[in-house]
């Protein structure tokens, strides 16, 4: 663990990608094989499920530290990270624990079938043999919430450089279903045989920030509606079909209609597209699709209420050949042929939007919401299919968000990065009787200077405190932007918004000028 913990510390202490890469390469040169495999697994989100109940962990840590449970809970909230919180609360350890990362992971894996008392003994033993930083890393492993400042891309680049392979080859080999417990370094990275289920890394677009004219000639670009569903990759190889999410999780079981069809198994191709709830030849709202997500099994009634299709927009592999290097227009032609001849109701072509000029496209863009789309995807006709998020050939051009002016009524101390400061705010609008009704929380979108100024203001305008939350005088007005709005029975206001954030602190406005609940309700009608 010491070696792995040192790697995490090195990655944590620098923002330079060069230094992160150096640290990773050094680690992959020096660490034992089983540890290297586990490290790749953890950095690519292949962590085992949580094996210890975290309530128990907090209780054990509290007992060891001689602190009541309520205090542990408060500390957790303030630190914003349970692993860090518990590592800090525990009494000092002796640093004698010599378990390797792989040995730790094996140990953790064995806990599932054990009695809590036995697990407690094992956890306490390890805790007391570790430094504070090792404990932090260990806690991340047992709580299953492992995140480090290493992008998939950085990991791939480091391994590729070390092994003298191309980035794309490494990315492909790391993708898909493999288990760190049973995979060797050779099988994972050096074996050229490809597992049939393996997916290609997704090509992701950046938001369009420049003017359309800067993209060049309109005839060099495709425009497609940007669908409000989830990205998927349908892999049909060797008579088997697998469906992957953008997070590289296998979601076949959640969408039987996209995977359990003989004709799909015969496609022998890899298709990139958007999964949407679909009815009467048009998309249904995202909330409908949501009922299909995150399930192990999907019931017949859910499938009936939320039928899905995939709108295909790219072809990555065709008849066993990786065609990502071909220009987009060639891939598109092959995709169109393939779908035409297959003629499958659940696998549709995402249509191109034809346009002669950028001006025309701008006009069409204003119709996005009527099309049930979030805007356009712009893709260069000659572009290859690339790996990861890249600028240049693909752009997402989203519709402008909805915005309203609302007043801050509660402030909550942030946690994690912003512990000690008020950063999470609750906003209200007026109802018909001019009462303030909270409708959303938001915590991002302001500059550090604005946060500082608002924190000073809060100190002098607090009405009441309850734990980390305080109510403040309803004076500060903010412009709140969000991507979507729907009805909600769970919220007092009766509306729920998606991706809310503060776009501006409206120092020029008073609380009398904010929007109303009625304004929000009208937006539901329009969306």
Distance of alpha carbon 308 from alpha carbon 261, whole angstroms: 14
226 as an active site residue: the answer is: yes
CB nearer to another protein: pick between 78 and 154: 78
Q: 287: which 2 tokens?
A: 């909330």
User: Is 78 one of the binding residues for another protein (CB under 8 A)?
Assistant: yes
DSSP-derived letter for residue 513 is: G
User: Is 18 one of the binding residues for another protein (CB under 8 A)?
Assistant: no
User: Are the beta carbons of 314 and 298 closer than 8 angstroms?
Assistant: no
CB nearer to another protein: pick between 237 and 415: 415
- The residue within the footprint of another protein, chosen from 75, 82, 119, 476 (CB under 8 A), is 75
- The residue within the footprint of another protein, chosen from 32, 216, 266, 416 (CB under 8 A), is 416
User: Is 15 one of the binding residues for another protein (CB under 8 A)?
Assistant: yes
Tell me, by CB under 8 A, how many residues bind another protein: 35
Q: 514: which 2 tokens?
A: 């904010």
Task: Find residue 424's DSSP bridge partners.
Answer: 412
User: Is 67 one of the binding residues for another protein (CB under 8 A)?
Assistant: yes
Q: Which residues contact 525 (CB under 8 A, 6 or more apart)?
A: none
| Minimum distance from residue 9 beta carbon to another protein (Å) | 11
CB environment 81-120: b (16+ within 10 A), e (fewer)? bbbbbbbebbeebeeebebbbbebbebbeebeeeeeeebb
CB environment 158-184: b (16+ within 10 A), e (fewer)? bbbebeebebbebbbbbbbebebeebe
Q: Strand pairing of 269-279 and 308-318?
A: antiparallel
Question: What secondary structure does DSSP assign to 151-213, as a single string?
Answer: -HHHHHHHHHHHHT--HHHHHHHHSS---TTT--HIIIII--PPPTT--PPPEEPEEP-S-GG
- Considering only the C-alpha atoms of the chain, give the largest distance between any 2 of them, rounded to a whole number of Å: 72
User: Are the beta carbons of 275 and 232 closer than 8 angstroms?
Assistant: yes
Among positions 456-485, residues that touch another protein (CB under 8 A) are 456, 459, 465, 467
- The residue within the footprint of another protein, chosen from 419, 469, 474, 524 (CB under 8 A), is 419
User: Is 23 one of the binding residues for another protein (CB under 8 A)?
Assistant: no
User: Are the beta carbons of 527 and 484 closer than 8 angstroms?
Assistant: yes
User: Is 195 one of the binding residues for another protein (CB under 8 A)?
Assistant: no
- The residue within the footprint of another protein, chosen from 17, 26, 63, 74 (CB under 8 A), is 74
| Minimum distance from residue 499 beta carbon to another protein (Å) | 22
In the numeric block, the tokens 């072809």 are attached to 315
- The residue within the footprint of another protein, chosen from 27, 28, 81, 402 (CB under 8 A), is 81
User: Is 299 one of the binding residues for another protein (CB under 8 A)?
Assistant: no
CB nearer to another protein: pick between 15 and 512: 15
Could you say which of 140, 226, 326, 379 is catalytic? 226
| Minimum distance from residue 30 beta carbon to another protein (Å) | 20
User: Is 6 one of the binding residues for another protein (CB under 8 A)?
Assistant: no
| Minimum distance from residue 145 beta carbon to another protein (Å) | 13
Q: Which residues contact 2 (CB under 8 A, 6 or more apart)?
A: 98, 134
User: Is 68 one of the binding residues for another protein (CB under 8 A)?
Assistant: yes
| Minimum distance from residue 288 beta carbon to another protein (Å) | 37
User: Is 12 one of the binding residues for another protein (CB under 8 A)?
Assistant: yes
From 275-283, 371-379, 384-392, 451-459, give the range in contact with another protein by CB under 8 A. Answer: 451-459
- Give the closest residue to 205 by CA, choosing from 190, 220, 224: 224
- Give the closest residue to 424 by CA, choosing from 500, 327, 521: 500
Distance of alpha carbon 398 from alpha carbon 431, whole angstroms: 30
From 62-70, 293-301, 346-354, 471-479, give the range in contact with another protein by CB under 8 A. Answer: 62-70
- Per-residue contact flags (x/-) with another protein for residues 370 to 409, judged by CB under 8 A: ----------------------------------------
| Minimum distance from residue 10 beta carbon to another protein (Å) | 12
Using CB under 8 A, list all residues that contact another protein. Answer: 12-15, 65, 67-68, 70-71, 74-75, 78-81, 84-85, 88-89, 136, 415-421, 448, 451-452, 455-456, 459, 465, 467
- Active-site residue list: 226
């Amino acid at each position: 663990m010491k070696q792995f913990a040192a790697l995490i510390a090195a990655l944590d202490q620098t923002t330079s990608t060069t230094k992160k890469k150096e640290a990773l390469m050094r680690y992959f040169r020096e660490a034992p094989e089983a540890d290297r495999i586990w490290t790749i697994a953890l950095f690519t989100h292949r962590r085992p499920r949580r094996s210890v109940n975290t309530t128990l962990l907090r209780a054990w840590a509290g007992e060891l530290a001689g602190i009541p449970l309520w205090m542990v809970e408060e500390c957790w909230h303030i630190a914003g990270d349970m692993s860090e919180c518990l590592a800090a609360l525990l009494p000092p350890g002796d640093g004698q624990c010599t378990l390797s990362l792989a040995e730790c992971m094996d140990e953790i894996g064995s806990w599932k079938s054990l009695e809590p008392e036995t697990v407690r003994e094992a956890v306490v033993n390890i805790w007391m043999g570790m430094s504070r930083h090792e404990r932090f890393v260990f806690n991340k492993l047992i709580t299953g919430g492992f995140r480090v400042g290493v992008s998939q891309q950085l990991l791939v680049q480091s391994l590729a450089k070390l092994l003298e392979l191309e980035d794309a080859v490494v990315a492909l080999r790391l993708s898909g279903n493999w288990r760190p417990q049973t995979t060797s370094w050779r099988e994972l990275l050096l074996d050229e045989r490809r597992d049939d289920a393996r997916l290609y890394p997704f090509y992701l677009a950046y938001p369009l920030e420049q003017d359309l004219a800067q993209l060049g000639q309109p005839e060099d670009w495709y425009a497609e509606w940007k669908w409000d569903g989830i990205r998927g990759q349908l892999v049909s190889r060797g008579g088997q079909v697998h469906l992957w999410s953008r997070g590289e999780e296998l979601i076949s079981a959640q969408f039987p209609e996209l995977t359990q069809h003989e004709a799909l198994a015969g496609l022998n191709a890899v298709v990139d597209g958007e999964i949407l709830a679909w009815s009467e030849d048009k998309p249904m709202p995202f909330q409908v699709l949501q009922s299909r997500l995150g399930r192990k099994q999907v019931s017949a009634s859910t499938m009936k209420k939320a039928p899905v299709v995939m709108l295909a927009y790219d072809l990555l592999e065709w008849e066993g050949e990786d065609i990502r290097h071909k220009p987009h227009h060639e891939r598109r032609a092959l995709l169109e042929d393939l779908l035409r001849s297959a003629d499958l109701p659940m696998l549709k072509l995402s249509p191109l939007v034809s346009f002669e000029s950028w001006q025309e496209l701008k006009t069409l863009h204003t119709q996005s919401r009527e099309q049930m789309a979030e805007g356009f995807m712009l893709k260069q006709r000659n572009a290859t299919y690339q790996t990861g998020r890249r600028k240049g050939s693909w752009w997402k051009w989203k519709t402008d968000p909805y915005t309203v002016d609302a007043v801050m009524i509660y402030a909550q101390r942030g946690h994690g990065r912003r512990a000690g400061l008020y950063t999470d705010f609750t906003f209200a609008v007026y109802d018909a009787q001019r009462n303030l009704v909270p409708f959303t929380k938001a915590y991002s979108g302001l500059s550090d200077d604005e946060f500082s100024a608002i924190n000073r203001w809060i100190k002098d305008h607090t009405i009441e405190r309850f734990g980390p939350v305080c109510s403040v005088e309803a004076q500060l007005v903010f412009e709140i932007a969000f991507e979507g709005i729907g009805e909600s029975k769970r919220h007092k206001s009766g509306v729920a918004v998606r991706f809310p954030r503060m776009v501006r602190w409206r120092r020029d406005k008073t609380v009398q000028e904010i929007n109303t609940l009625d304004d929000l309700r009208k937006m539901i009608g329009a969306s």
